[in-house]
Amino acid sequence: MTPLWSARLDAPKRPAFLQRHLFCMGKTLRTRVFVAPSSRGEGRRRQAAALRKSLAVSRFREMHPEIPVDGLAERAKPACLSEMSDPVRLTCEKGHRTVAITPRARIILCLIPAMLLPAIAAVFYYVLFPGQWSGRIIYGTTKLFTLVWPIAAVWAIERQPLRLKPINAAKHLAAIPMGLASGLLIAATMLALYKWSVIGDYVGLYRDAIRDKVEAFGLRDPATYLLFGTAMSVAHSLLEEYFWRWYVFGRLSKVSGLPSAYCLASFSFAAHHYIVLGCYFPLPLAAAFGTCVAIGAAFWCWLYRRQQSLVGVWLSHVLADVAIICIGYRLVFQ
């Protein structure tokens, strides 16, 4: 029977760069190397080392086809495969060095601006330049960013192919009941707290500040306000679900654990809400309302992960926004 020699592909002198790229970002790969019965001692070790390095070259080519590894054969001699000890040489061509970025690092680099830019922009268009042309330009640019960035990042930076999958109508229709029920529950809770609790009385104390801010944005009559509120409730909520749930939470769940993905996606979504609410209410109340937004965002992340559809999450978000628009209408115009 041919003996087996178990080889760990993590030699002590192997660089961390090679560990990340060839062995699934730090996870040790174990393999079995078949050795001829006649091999003994040093000859067996050399033969096993040659096979390990050959497997490393093959794995590197599979994971990074864009990096040239010319001159390294699949079953080359150990002298040639010793070049694997310095992976930069694999990408070195006439003195020019190229460092390969892992797919995980590409996703993280794309997520950083996606998670931070909306909150930073809110400081400019809602705090520093409200109602001014500069603020409106910044606001429009930010919304354009949320529309374009996910597609541009996936295609140009992550280098993932963009494919239109067939629409699974049954899956999306099945997501409607839970989205409708959760949205009605959220909307009813907000309206009830506003009408029959001390929270509504406390919010009413800041009616003048809310009215001044709404008028600064040009919403001086009920028709304009309702038109803007309808667009925010329907179109803007769909844009937010596409950006925050499909892209931000979806990508975070690929590069981190689920608890981290829930927390980061939820509080990133709530960050610009903290800033907006801080323009209407004192800090404690704004922090409390912003945290409620983060909790709602965590629920929507869970719902999206459970249903694998944006339809139910979007419907729930629309109903929550409708309740907010109704409360704002009563504060400003009644």
Mean pLDDT, the chain, integer: 79
pLDDT band at 93 (very low <50, low <70, confident <90, very high): very low
Question: Does 265 reside within a domain?
Answer: yes
pLDDT value, residue 32: 39
Give the residue from 91, 121, 150 where a domain finishes.
91
Is 36 within a domain? yes
Residue 212 structural domain: 168-333
Q: Is the dihedral of CA 253, 249, 168, 145 positive or negative?
A: negative
Between 131 and 10, name the one with better pLDDT. 131
Give residues with Cβ within 8 angstroms of 331, minimum separation 6. 203, 204, 207, 210, 211
Are 44 and 65 in contact, with CB atoms under 8 Å apart? no
CB 55 within 8 A of CB 33: no
Answer whether residue 33 is part of any domain. yes
- Express as a percent the part of the chain with pLDDT over 90: 49
Whether 77 is covered by a domain: the verdict is yes
Radius of gyration of the chain (CA): 28
Query: Residue 98's pLDDT band (boundaries 50, 70, 90)?
Result: low
- Considering only residues 256 and 18, tell me which one the structure prediction assigns the higher pLDDT: 256
Is 117 part of a structural domain of the chain? no
Number of domains in the chain: 2
Q: Which pLDDT band, with edges at 50, 70 and 90, does 66 fall under?
A: low
76 and 208 share one domain = no
In a domain, 177, yes or no: yes
pLDDT bucket at 215, cuts 50 / 70 / 90: confident
Asked if 186 and 316 count as a contact pair (C-beta separation under 8 A), the reply is yes
47, containing H or E segment: helix 41-63
Quick one: three-class SS letters along 200-261?
HHHHHCCHHHHHHHHHHCCCCCHHHHHHHHHHHHHHHHHHHHHHHHHHHHHHHHHHCCHHHH
Q: Is residue 315 part of a domain?
A: yes
Tokens of 111: 């997520």
Examine the pLDDT at 4 and tell me if it is beyond 70: no
Euclidean distance between CA atoms 106 and 227, whole angstroms: 40
Does residue 64 sit in the same domain as residue 203?
no
Cβ neighbours of 126 (radius 10 Å): 21
Q: How many CA atoms lie within 13 A of 62 on its CB side?
A: 10
In this structure, the strands spanning 4-8 and 30-34 are antiparallel
Window from 11-25, 168-182, 189-203, 256-270 with minimum mean pLDDT: 11-25
User: Is residue 290, in this structure, part of any structural domain at all?
Assistant: yes
